[in-house]
Structure 1
């Protein structure tokens, strides 16, 4: 009789049909949510025709949860599900200054999972209210550089999952396509005068958007430059400029949603062609400037982007170049009515917006097209 060779193989079977069925049903919920979601608009702001420069704003504030982070949150939950990291009833924990947490709270509720956002104490009251309105709970820390460590501790304490946008943002999104933001922008530009942008400008919070855009541009062999607009009290600019991943800042960014006290794993500097560090007063002034011209408020990180656009447009004019510039409306300014759009609060920060408003009016004489 032959020996039972197959029976002698070491074997550990961890297949859990119930968990696989739960995961499959939650993946289907996320897919259904994506199908219900229309693409965001690409707005054109008209510059003087003689310039030959077209300016577009990808309006990510129109997502269901009101910001660019809606795309990221869905991708992070999908990534966690297909990696087998989520279980029924597990508490999801995230480090976030606000917008990511709002979107993640929405998707956690969609999947019937508890959600806790670890946020700095200075986060706007409006954002805290939005997180709670989506079913999330806020856990406060004193400093931005304490968020990730506290999130890990809290997740371990409750047996949950730290979703960790700062590590996984660059890998959770399919940068080759599959309805990512880069693919959407290029498709919407297809019938425009300059369908391949000269520059795309984004800020950096996790680095996920810049990683997706930079990889996509290279994968499709496009000559478009990627410019990242950083802010004061953020490590990204100096780290990239010096080639030193160890750069840190003692205080956190005052422009909510972008800037970090240390370099995050999702920031892929090698796909970035240019960086600018924008003064905080300029970011706030530009948010107000474009809000007046759009007829609705946009957040301060959108202002950061717009100041970099103004610099690029001025350089293109000096060189006699034509082409298109694209940046993002990251979120709605309604979330900041008691901070960046409150004159007394702005004055308390020591910001003088008037000089920047004058510069922007001269360098970007825009109107809705």
Structure 2
């Protein structure tokens, strides 16, 4: 029997009404929480170089990934990929899954996070707190295939942050993270940053930053910092998009075993490879100097940013550097803030702590 046209119209209207309400809810969250603080890092004024951290830990789900999750949901809703009752599935190292679980709960949707078995227990608890279910895998490289399989089994939607991160965010503005940084820098003594320093998990943040500065005609440069066991640095250096790494990153949220589709190498001006122990040393040093407890990816960012400050000082240049405080350190009490965990990992932070002490007293990098 052919369905009555009026029945089809009513069904379509109901679907559209649900999507409209879902988009309203996601946008309402942005209206409440889109902006975050820009913190000044303590450097001597006479150095002539200022360093700032964009504190993304103040989002409702506690990390930079809140912005990405919001953009991914809006992108999927506007593309007609998510309907009422659909299961949302994501491959993640933890923080994106926390944020997507939050938005799925707001929309009354089931959420499944496909995450490595090494994900911190604090992140797993947060995913479950927001109503998500965790599907742990032993091999991080399988998260993509497992996610697609679960989406097929449930008739749900695989969000696929690693493909869509660079296109889901409006890089021209609309209060994205780049626009927010430049607005907040407007009254500083060096308002246009010399360097913007970010890590790469999907590559979406570096893509947003790089595109925005070009679109606005700014002369800021983009530096991407990369941890051990990540494919991005070598993929960028060789321009080999197929480059892969056999091991997985120990710095949660950044570093990938392959060069992800959202990573845009041609808008990255420089990359710095950061040892994992250096990331932890910088993360802990931030807490000592400022009282802000952050995660390992923030340490990676900070190590690269401080190295650039030292280079600017050595060259006699003034200016500003901006990086990100990606998430709070409470998620890593059993890992990066645990001396026992570091010992099990074979991480010796002492040489890198010495580098930081020397930098703070002399501005020199060694």
TM-score over 0.5 (shorter chain) = yes
Gaps of 5+ in 2: 1-7
1:240 pairs with 223, 233, 236, which one?
236
Q: Aligned pair 1:134/2:130, yes or no?
A: yes
Residue 37 of structure 2: aligned partner: 41
Residue 117 of structure 1: aligned partner: 113
**Partner Cα distance (1:252, 1:70) in 2:** 23
1:227 pairs with 209, 223, 230, which one?
223
Residue 3 of structure 2: aligned partner: none
**Partner Cα distance (1:364, 1:326) in 2:** 18
Residue 96 of structure 2: aligned partner: 100
The CA deviation string for residues 305-359 of structure 1, in whole angstroms up to 9 with x for no partner, is: 1111121111101110000000000000110000110001101111110110111
Residue 46 of structure 2: aligned partner: 50
Maintained 8 Å contact 2:166/2:205: yes
Look up the SS of the partner of 1:200 in the other structure.
strand
The CA deviation string for residues 184-240 of structure 1, in whole angstroms up to 9 with x for no partner, is: 000000000000000000000000000000000000111101000001100000000
1:156 pairs with 147, 152, 156, which one?
152
CA shift, 1:143, in A, is 1.3
Residue 197 of structure 1: aligned partner: 193
Query: After the TM superposition, which residues 223-302 of structure 1 pair with which residues of structure 2 at under 5 Å, given as runs?
Result: 223-302=219-298
Question: Larger Rg: 1 or 2?
Answer: 1
Residue 315 of structure 2: aligned partner: 319
Aligned length: 355
Look up the SS of the partner of 1:244 in the other structure.
coil
With 55-64 and 307-316 compared, the bigger mean Cα shift is at: 307-316
Look up the SS of the partner of 2:322 in the other structure.
strand
Residue 173 of structure 1: aligned partner: 169
Q: TM-score, normalised by structure 2?
A: 0.95
Residue 8 of structure 1: aligned partner: none
Maintained 8 Å contact 1:310/1:364: no
CA shift, 1:13, in A, is 9.0
Look up the SS of the partner of 1:16 in the other structure.
helix
**Partner Cα distance (1:38, 1:237) in 2:** 30
Maintained 8 Å contact 1:48/1:365: no
CA shift, 1:361, in A, is 2.0
Maintained 8 Å contact 1:233/1:259: yes
Q: TM-score, normalised by structure 1?
A: 0.94
1:310 pairs with 306, 311, 328, which one?
306
With 309-318 and 164-173 compared, the bigger mean Cα shift is at: 309-318
**Partner Cα distance (1:252, 1:102) in 2:** 20
Look up the SS of the partner of 2:41 in the other structure.
strand
Q: Aligned pair 1:20/2:16, yes or no?
A: yes
**Partner Cα distance (1:69, 1:96) in 2:** 11
CA shift, 1:59, in A, is 0.2
Look up the SS of the partner of 2:251 in the other structure.
coil
**Partner Cα distance (1:347, 1:189) in 2:** 40
Gaps of 5+ in 1: 1-11
Q: Aligned pair 1:212/2:208, yes or no?
A: yes
Maintained 8 Å contact 2:195/2:220: yes
Look up the SS of the partner of 2:127 in the other structure.
helix
Maintained 8 Å contact 1:40/1:60: yes
